[in-house]
Amino acid sequence: MIGFIKRMWFAWRYKRAVKKAVRMAGMTGLKYYVIYINKGLKVVPKKAVKELVAKHRFKKGVTVADIEKRALFVTR
C-alpha cells in the first residue's frame, strides 16, 4: 500500500513537472529537461545544463547528450 502511494505521488509530481516544462518551452522557445536530482524532479533549460557542463560541475566526461539520455522528459 505504501509503495502504491509513493508511485501515485511521484506520478503527480511528474505530471506537474512535464506541464511546467512544456509551458516554459512554449513561452521561451528553449528546450527543457525534466531531471530527477537530489530526490526530486527539476525542470532545467538546456542552456543552463550546457553552462554547468562547461564549468565542470559534473563528473569528467559527462556531456549534455548524456544528461539528455537520462532525462525523464525532453521538450520538442
Q: Which residue ranges make up each domain of the chain?
A: 2-74
Distance CA 75, CA 9 (A): 22
Mean pLDDT of the 32-59 span:
94
* Mean per-residue pLDDT of the chain: 95
Q: Is the model's pLDDT at 76 over the cut of 90?
A: no
Spatial distance between the Cα atoms of 21 and 34, rounded to a whole number of angstroms: 7
* Cell numbers 545544463: residue: 49
Compute the CA torsion angle 36, 55, 50, 14 (nearest 10 deg): 10
The Cα 50–Cα 74 span in angstroms is 15
